[in-house]
Amino acid sequence: MEFTLLAQIVTLSVVLIYVAALVCAVEAILNGRTSQGAIAWTISLLSFPMLSLPLYLIFGRNRFAGYLEKRDEIEREAQRLILRTNSSIEEHVIPIGSDTPLYTSLFNLARMPATAGNKIELLVDGDATFASIEKGMEQATQYILFQFYIIRDDELSRKLCRILADKAKSGVSVYLLYDEIGSRQFHRSKLRKQLLLAGVEAEPFNTTQGRRNRFQLNFRNHRKIVVVDGRQAWVGGHNVGDEYLGLDKKVGHWRDTHAKVEGPAVLGTEQAFATDWLWATNKQLEVDWSVSRTAPGESTVLVFPSDPASEYEEAGLMFHQTIVAAQRRIWIASPYFVPDRGIVAALQLAALRGVDVRVIIPDEPDGPVVAMANWSFTNELIACGVKVYRYQGGFMHQKVLLMDDQLAGVGTANFDNRSFRLNFEITLLVHDLFFARKVESMLERDFDRSRLVVKEEIANKPAWFTLGMAVARLFSPVL
């Protein structure tokens, strides 16, 4: 009798698994952002449901449910409070029209306008970046917003957290947000407990919140944002850890880039943080949205947040737009260079029409599969005249682009499918000749520390290397 009952339970379980796998396969077909991914998931779910179903529940979906509603709520509230004050940013907004096609398309993706009158500072490597952030936080009198993908429990982290704790004790509102996977050690650390005792509100992003996101570990909040009093903001590639100062002997010099912005564009960074905070805590961020947005500089800045909740692949389209709009050059620096088919075609066409297309990646990428995928795309691009450089002065982690002589981007988005489709990212797009020249000089120094890949180098690789590139290319949609 017991055996019969057990057999019935097992049979019912198997049927339910097959039904669930069929439902997931239909969802993959309807919602897959790439045909390759939809086909792969459908075949695996129908052929091996026992193995594929749990993997799909964790890694399969590419749409983050519920976040856009939070974002709309934050944007409406921010706009209401801004319009209530005499110090509106409207006078600094770049109007959208036929003479600004780049801003028009990017505005429709970013859902916020570009603003003039900003002061922008390029911060090269960790010492300059964290010295600037520390100085800014010391000046805080009202609030600090502090968000990173990775926060360690090491010397640099403790130094910055001491400032946050001291500010919280003095009455400054301090909000700290981190990714629960990237900062999993910090989440359980004494350092976080000390911050909480000091009055800092330190919360994980909580990616698995919500019924449809419950099993999803694939969506990561990769943003790095610091805001002080609504007047200064920092965005870029650094996380919080000693290795970002080049203190890890295994890694060596850590080549990274951040940017500091002052002016009306700071509002965009605040809105991105506030939406993440609302998602993580279900609480509105208590900041003064109507703070005076003065114009301390002459740079035009578009704050470009991107996330996997949106209808469009915002980060990928942003990169694609800058590539197709380039007339003289497009230079790209990224530690993870695993683009999709559309981006590859755009780069090829840009090079074929005479644009100076350069890509700089680490000589020692993070992981063997990523390394082989990098070689595969390098082989395809250099045939069209794209120049691919491999940085040899340490590990290069910066996410920077330079278009023509006036547009530069500094942010958190890598040049890969994960940043295009799965991560929460943020990029500062700066339209300013003087800033672009600084970025140009910085990248030229990086090129000097790199070697240019030539066709013969790949042609002379052994046969197994060619096979490895092809296999790694198959995994590029999920890298």
Tokens of 151: 């926060």
Task: Indicate which residue of 70, 92, 167, 224 is catalytic.
Answer: 224
Share of residues in the chain with pLDDT > 70 (%): 76
pLDDT tens across 169-184, in order?
Answer: 999 999 999 999 899 9
Q: Across all residues in the chain, what is the average pLDDT?
A: 84
User: Is 193 annotated in the active site?
Assistant: no
In a domain, 407, yes or no: yes
Where is pLDDT greater, at 71 or 186?
Answer: 186
pLDDT tens across 295-316, in order?
Answer: 788 999 999 999 887 778 889 9
Residue finishing a domain among 233, 265, 299: 299
User: Is 169 annotated in the active site?
Assistant: no
Chain centroid offset of residue 142 CA: 27
For the domain that residue 370 is a member of, what is the CATH number? 3.30.870.10
Task: Compute the distance between CA of residue 108 and CA of residue 163 in angstroms, rounded to an integer.
Answer: 38
For residue 413, pLDDT beyond 90: yes
For residue 256, pLDDT beyond 60: yes
In a domain, 306, yes or no: no
Residues 294 and 192 in one domain: yes
In a domain, 110, yes or no: no
Residues 286 and 358 in one domain: no
User: Is 397 annotated in the active site?
Assistant: yes
Task: Indicate which residue of 242, 253, 404, 438 is catalytic.
Answer: 404
Task: Compute the distance between CA of residue 5 and CA of residue 8 in angstroms, rounded to an integer.
Answer: 5
pLDDT at 86: 41
pLDDT tens across 265-278, in order?
Answer: 998 899 899 888 98
Task: Indicate which residue of 399, 416, 431, 432 is catalytic.
Answer: 399
Where is pLDDT greater, at 459 or 331?
Answer: 331
Q: Mapping DSSP to helix (H, G, I), strand (E, B) and coil, where does residue 154 land?
A: coil
pLDDT at 85: 45
Task: Compute the distance between CA of residue 12 and CA of residue 126 in angstroms, rounded to an integer.
Answer: 57
Mean pLDDT of 1-19: 66
pLDDT tens across 197-211, in order?
Answer: 999 999 999 766 655
Residues 84 and 21 in one domain: no
- pLDDT tier, 477 (very low <50, low <70, confident <90, very high otherwise): low
User: Is 288 annotated in the active site?
Assistant: no
| Phi, psi (degrees; rounded to nearest 5) at 178 | -145, 160
pLDDT at 319: 95
In a domain, 217, yes or no: yes
Region label for 291, one of left (φ > 0), alpha (ψ between -120 and 50) or beta (otherwise): beta
Where is pLDDT greater, at 284 or 241?
Answer: 241
pLDDT at 57: 65
Task: Compute the distance between CA of residue 362 and CA of residue 478 in angstroms, rounded to an integer.
Answer: 20
Share of residues in the chain with pLDDT > 90 (%): 50
| Phi, psi (degrees; rounded to nearest 5) at 397 | -120, 0
Residues 354 and 434 in one domain: yes
For residue 125, pLDDT beyond 80: yes
- pLDDT tier, 363 (very low <50, low <70, confident <90, very high otherwise): confident
Residues 264 and 176 in one domain: yes
Residues 48 and 71 in one domain: no
Residue finishing a domain among 44, 60, 76: 60
pLDDT tens across 232-255, in order?
Answer: 999 999 999 999 999 988 888 999
Q: Where are the alpha helices (DSSP H) in 32-112?
A: 35-47, 49-55, 67-83, 101-110
Residue finishing a domain among 13, 39, 60: 60
Say what angle helices 368-382 and 341-352 make with each other, to 10 degrees. 30
Name the DSSP letter for residue 152.
Answer: -
In a domain, 275, yes or no: yes
Least confident piece of the model among 74-83, 165-174, 278-287, 380-389: 74-83
pLDDT at 448: 96
The residue ranges of DSSP E strands in 375-421, in sequence order, are 387-391, 395-396, 400-403, 407-411, 415-416
- pLDDT tier, 91 (very low <50, low <70, confident <90, very high otherwise): confident
Q: HEC states along 192-258?
A: HHHHHHHCCEEEECCCCCCHHHCCCCCCEECCCEEEECCCEEEEECCCECHHHHCCCCCCCCEECEE
Residues 283 and 358 in one domain: no
Task: Indicate which residue of 70, 92, 119, 222 is catalytic.
Answer: 222
| Widest pairwise Cα distance in the chain | 82
- pLDDT tier, 40 (very low <50, low <70, confident <90, very high otherwise): low
Q: Mapping DSSP to helix (H, G, I), strand (E, B) and coil, where does residue 411 land?
A: strand
Whose CA is closest to 149, among 187, 190, 191?
Answer: 187
CA atoms within a 13 Å half-sphere pointing along the CA-CB vector of 34: 22
Structural domains of the chain, count:
3
In a domain, 124, yes or no: yes
User: Is 320 annotated in the active site?
Assistant: no
Residues 339 and 467 in one domain: yes
Q: Mapping DSSP to helix (H, G, I), strand (E, B) and coil, where does residue 191 land?
A: helix
pLDDT at 2: 55
User: Is 229 annotated in the active site?
Assistant: yes
pLDDT tens across 415-459, in order?
Answer: 988 898 888 999 999 999 999 999 999 999 999 999 999 988 777
Task: Compute the distance between CA of residue 376 and CA of residue 38 in angstroms, rounded to an integer.
Answer: 23
Q: Indicate the pTM of the whole model.
A: 0.86
Task: Indicate which residue of 125, 154, 179, 229 is catalytic.
Answer: 229
Task: Compute the distance between CA of residue 30 and CA of residue 22 in angstroms, rounded to an integer.
Answer: 12
Residues 56 and 160 in one domain: no
Q: Which of 18-32, 286-300, 446-460 has the highest mean pLDDT?
A: 446-460
For residue 346, pLDDT beyond 80: yes
Residues 331 and 246 in one domain: no
The residues that bridge with 388 in the sheet, in sequence order, are: 359
Residues 194 and 341 in one domain: no
Task: Indicate which residue of 397, 416, 431, 446 is catalytic.
Answer: 397
Q: How many helices (H) and strands (E) does the chain have?
A: 17, 20
In a domain, 143, yes or no: yes
Domain of 360 in residue numbering reads as: 314-478
pLDDT at 60: 60
In a domain, 103, yes or no: no
Residues 349 and 387 in one domain: yes
- pLDDT tier, 44 (very low <50, low <70, confident <90, very high otherwise): confident
